[in-house]
Amino acid sequence: IITGFTSINAWTNLGTNIWESTNALSPLPTCNMVVINGVNTPMGRYPNTGYLPYQSHNGSTSITSNNLTGTPNWTGAEVVMRPTRWMLQRVVIISQAGGTLAYSGSTEKPTDGFGFFVQNDNRTLDATNEWYYNPASKKIRIYNESTPTNVEVATIDELVLVNGLSYITFDHIDFEGANSYLFENRNSKNITLKNSS
């Protein structure tokens, strides 16, 4: 097994069913995968299900929704929006004024009338096992009525990089827990993966 998972066994109770990992998890600025009791578990989000519509946008730097008032202010969280029917885009909210979320890092212009939700903010944690990763402290928080158990976090971005090589076979190897790329092939030929998961 080639794994990028790190198990978390030490927790600090912050109250109101919020638990924080006692130690920093990894040097990575983001966390994309948390597995609890063997199940890939989603981040906390607002709203808990579905999407909020946005009525207008400004280029590819902000969206405005009648469903937001400015309280809470989601600056620092992520907005996950649907700029087109076939795409979800995840970007950091750099400021909020009333119902307008300004963000950076977008490559797609939004389509008015489509939807969004907010994630990766401590205030979204209100259901069992929802989680939030703090990019500054490198700690994870989880909502749970008791101490979280069997928690694994992806702490390695890329598990395998094959670069400029040929005729390599990966046989009977399991790959798990990549934060970004499980297996990357750059300029390599005749690479075989078999009997693996």
Q: What are the pLDDT digits (tens) for 33-80?
A: 999 999 999 999 999 999 999 999 999 999 999 999 999 999 999 999
Q: Which residues contact 111 (CB under 8 A, 6 or more apart)?
A: 82, 83, 84
pLDDT confidence tier of residue 175, bands split at 50, 70 and 90: very high
Q: What is the pLDDT of residue 57?
A: 95
Residue 163, helix vs strand vs coil: strand
Long-range contacts of 70-73 (CB under 8 A, 24+ apart): 70/96, 70/97, 70/98, 70/99, 72/123
Residue 26 confidence (pLDDT): 86
When pLDDT is averaged across residues 151-178 and rounded to a whole number, the result is 96
Average pLDDT rounded to a whole number, residues 132-140: 95
Give me the pLDDT at residue 125, please. 97
On the question of pLDDT at 107 being above 90, the answer is no
143 burial class (0-12, 13-18, 19+ CB within 10 angstroms)? Answer: buried
pTM for this predicted structure: 0.88
| Residue 130 confidence (pLDDT) | 97
- What distance in Å separates the CA atoms of residue 117 and residue 50, rounded to the nearest whole number? 8
Q: Report the pLDDT value the prediction gives residue 157, as an integer from 0 to 100.
A: 95
Average pLDDT, the chain: 95
Of all residues in the chain, the percent with pLDDT exceeding 90 is 94
* Cβ(181)–Cβ(24) below 8 Å: no
pLDDT at 52: 97
Neighbours of 121 (CB within 10 A): 20
Q: What is the mean pLDDT of residues 89-94?
A: 95
In the predicted structure, residue 106 carries a pLDDT above the cut 90:
no
50-54, 81-85, 121-125: the lowest-pLDDT one: 81-85
Residue 108 has pLDDT above 90, yes or no: no
Separation CA 65–CA 183 (nearest Å):
39
- Residue 197 has, within 13 A of its CA and on its CB side, a CA count of 0
Write down the H helix ranges in 53-110. Answer: none
Q: Cα-flanking dihedrals φ and ψ of residue 130, to 5°?
A: -65, 145
DSSP 20-46: EESS---S-S----EEETTEEEPBPEE
| CA neighbor of 61 nearest in space, from 44, 32, 83 | 83
